[in-house]
Amino acid sequence: MAKKLVKYCVVDAFTDTAFKGNPAAVCLLEEEKDDKWLQSVAAEFNISETCYLIPLNEPTNTNPRFGLRWFTPVDEVDLCGHATLAAAHYLFSYGLVKTDAIEFSTRSGILTAKKVPEPKASNSQDDWPAGY
């Protein structure tokens, strides 16, 4: 049986500059994998968090829903904020979802990520809020 490739990327959260911020590996799975495999991949990446997304087909939801799990190089964790943001960024940035909101089903419950518009760039001090 041929092995299926896993789509992944490393996202630097909390920055718009490569190799800054807080990195998280994001892996998009087509099917469930066993815990030992998930942990081995996280150990191979050897960064603070590796997260795994798997699409969930739940017809009652208006927003796409994904299963989401987080692993450090040595253990699974119940919640990771920066890897959740990295997962949402990956799905939004690569056009893998067509909505402005995503739901993640996790060990900590349902988490929702919403895409917000980019702020308008301004070079004028007249556009700054009072007090700056």
What are the extents of the domains in the chain? 7-127
- pLDDT per position in the chain (132 positions), as tens? 667 789 999 999 999 898 999 999 999 999 999 999 999 999 999 999 999 999 998 666 688 999 999 999 999 999 999 999 999 999 999 999 999 999 999 999 999 999 988 777 656 555 555 544
Backbone angles phi, psi at 16, to 5 degrees: -115, 15
- Residue tagged active-site, from 31, 49, 58, 76: 49
Please, what is the Cα angle at 43 between 38 and 47, to 5 degrees?
A: 110
Only one residue has tokens 């995503």, namely: 102
DSSP 46: -
Query: How far, in Å, CA of 86 to CA of 50, rounded?
Result: 10
Give catalytic status of residue 49 as yes or no.
Answer: yes
pTM across the whole model: 0.84
CATH architecture of the domain 7-127 equals Roll (3.10)
Q: Strand, helix or coil at 78?
A: coil
